[in-house]
Amino acid sequence: MRGAMYGTSYFENLLNDSDICIVTEHWLNRTNITFLYELANDFQVFSCFSSCSVNSNRGSGGVAILVRKKLVFKTHNLFVDNDRFCAVKLSKHGYESLCIIGTLLPSTNYSAEEYIQYFQTVCSIYDRMSVDCVTVIGGDFNTDITVTSLSSKSKNVIDFITKNNLSPVPLMSGRKGPDFTFRSKDMTRKTMIDYIFIPEFFCNGFRSLSCFDFRYEVAM
C-alpha cells in the first residue's frame, strides 16, 4: 500500500478474513506503528523497523506479524538481530508449533552481494526453527523467481526453497488472482516479488488460495 491512511479500509477488510498476517510496508516505521496497533486491535503485533535511511522508499520500511488474539496461541518473539526480519513462534497444547518469519529484503539500490547476505539470515533462522516447528516464510523478497532470466538473487531464493522442499504459495496450482504482486504507478511493470513459502506437506491442506488486487501493489 502506498501510504497507511490511503489503504485503511482495504487493510481492515483483509484483516477481517485473516488469523495470521504478515505486513511489509514502506510506511511502517516507529512513528506509524501506533496506527497498526489501533487498526489491528484484535491482534497481537510483533514488528521491526529498518534503520537504513538510504533511498528509504525502496526496499526499506518495516515488517509486522499479526496474530489474532482469540486463537490463544502462546507466542514467543524471536527478536531477530536484524531490522529487516521479524520472527514469531506460536505454540498451543495438542498442536505442532508454528514459526512465522516475515521478511523485507533489499531492493535494487543494494548490490546482489548485500542482498544475498541479508537472505542468508533468513536461511539461518529457517534452519534453526524448522527443526522443531512447522516454519513459514513470507513477505517482500524484492526479486522475481518466475522470470526466464534469473538474477543471482532469484537463484539463491530458488536454491533455498528447493533444498528445503518449500512451495511458493503464489505459484501453486489452483491459486486465483493476478500473476504479480507489484505494479508500477505507470502500469508498465508487473512483477511477482512477494511470496509465502510453506512446507510442501502443507500444500494439500488448503481449500483455496487467492491474491487480492490493489491499486499499485497487491497484498496476499
Helix (H) or strand (E) run with residue 35 in it? helix 33-39
CATH number of 5-205: 3.60.10.10
Q: Find the mean pLDDT for residues 142-161.
A: 93
Give the rounded percent of residues in the chain with a pLDDT score beyond 90: 44
Q: Are strands 134-140 and 98-104 parallel, antiparallel or unpaired?
A: parallel
Q: Which residue has the higher pLDDT, 47 or 179?
A: 47
Delimit the domains of the chain by residue range.
5-205
**Rounded CA separation 165/200 (Å):** 6
Q: Which residue has the higher pLDDT, 141 or 61?
A: 141
pLDDT on residue 216: 39
pLDDT at 4 over 60: no
Contact 102, 86 (CB under 8 A): yes
pLDDT on residue 158: 96
Q: To the nearest whole number, what is the mean pLDDT of the chain?
A: 82
**Rounded CA separation 172/191 (Å):** 16
Which residues neighbour 83 within 8 Å (Cβ) at sequence distance 6 or greater? 48, 49, 50, 51, 52
Quickly tell me which residue has 542482498 as its cell.
Answer: 115
**Rounded CA separation 209/220 (Å):** 9
Tell me the pTM: 0.85
Measured at the CA of 128, the angle between CA 84 and CA 102, to 5 degrees, comes to 30
Longest distance between any two alpha carbons in the chain, whole Å:
50
pLDDT on residue 52: 59
Q: E strands along 8-111, which residues?
A: 20-25, 43-49, 62-68, 74-77, 85-91, 98-104
pLDDT on residue 98: 95
